[in-house]
């Protein structure tokens, strides 16, 4: 885990207030939210009698228990902190749900996990993705007055090379600067989603390939 004692509060950009499809009220500022999830010890770590070096005294603070008793413990502030007992559902509900559902209002949103190897990134993102997919299709089902077209793309990045996870035979893809859409990936497959089971199937393909390659993967949802 990387941080600094002066971790800044969420950076804010002024914009018009709105509400999310989930019914939550969006604050006036557009935020970059930084949340931290502290994972529990693995079985191997427990067998080695390892100790958790972090405490979570409240929902916004983590405390590094320095083994050097001559130095005081160091605290770090974040928008939200989830202790080792928190479920992935709680992480999604309180740390990612509003972001995921805001995309349905036409706002570009990104949710990503950062951390060292074996810190729980894949485990957490798998749960967040599944819960987001469920909520998105629930919103589509409850919005009968309009038709949605949902597309999904998936790519992996390694040593600045981009590979299409839904068409691995395409080779390395180029990044282009589109005057209207911004940075795009040339010839990246955009699969039109038929239903929630089809989407889960596509995500499953990506997760299987990610487990084999252990690379950085990105799943992109687009709807109109």
Q: Which residues carry a binding-site annotation for ATP? A: 115-122
List the binding residues: 115-122
Q: What whole-number distance in Å separates Cα of residue 32 and Cα of residue 12?
A: 7
Strand partners, 11: 32
Whole-angstrom CA distances from 160 to 23, 129, 137, 169, 175 are: 39, 25, 33, 18, 10
Q: What whole-number distance in Å separates Cα of residue 1 and Cα of residue 29?
A: 27
Contact 97, 22 (CB under 8 A): yes
Q: Compute φ and ψ for 104, nearest 5 degrees.
A: -70, -15
Helix (H) or strand (E) holding 28: none
């Amino acid at each position: 885990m990387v941080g600094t004692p002066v971790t800044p509060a969420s950076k804010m950009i002024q914009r018009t207030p709105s509400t999310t499809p989930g019914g939550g009220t969006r604050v006036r500022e557009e935020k970059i939210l930084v949340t931290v999830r502290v994972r529990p010890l693995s079985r191997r770590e427990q067998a080695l009698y390892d100790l958790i070096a972090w405490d979570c005294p409240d929902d916004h603070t983590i405390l590094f228990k320095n083994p050097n008793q001559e130095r005081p413990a160091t605290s770090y502030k974040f928008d939200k902190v989830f202790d080792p007992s928190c479920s992935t559902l709680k992480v999604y509900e309180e740390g990612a749900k509003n972001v995921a559902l805001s995309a349905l209002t036409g706002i570009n949103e990104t949710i990503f996990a950062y951390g060292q190897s074996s810190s729980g990134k894949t485990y957490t993102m798998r749960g967040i993705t599944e819960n987001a997919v469920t909520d998105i299709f629930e919103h589509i089902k409850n919005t009968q007055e309009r038709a949605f077209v949902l597309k999904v793309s998936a790519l992996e990045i390694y040593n600045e090379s981009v590979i299409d996870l839904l068409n691995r035979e395409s080779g390395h893809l180029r990044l282009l600067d589109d005057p209207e859409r911004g940075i795009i990936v040339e010839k990246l497959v955009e699969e039109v989603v038929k239903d929630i089971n089809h989407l889960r199937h596509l995500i499953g393909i990506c997760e299987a390939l990610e487990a084999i390659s252990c690379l950085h993967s990105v799943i992109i949802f687009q709807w109109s």
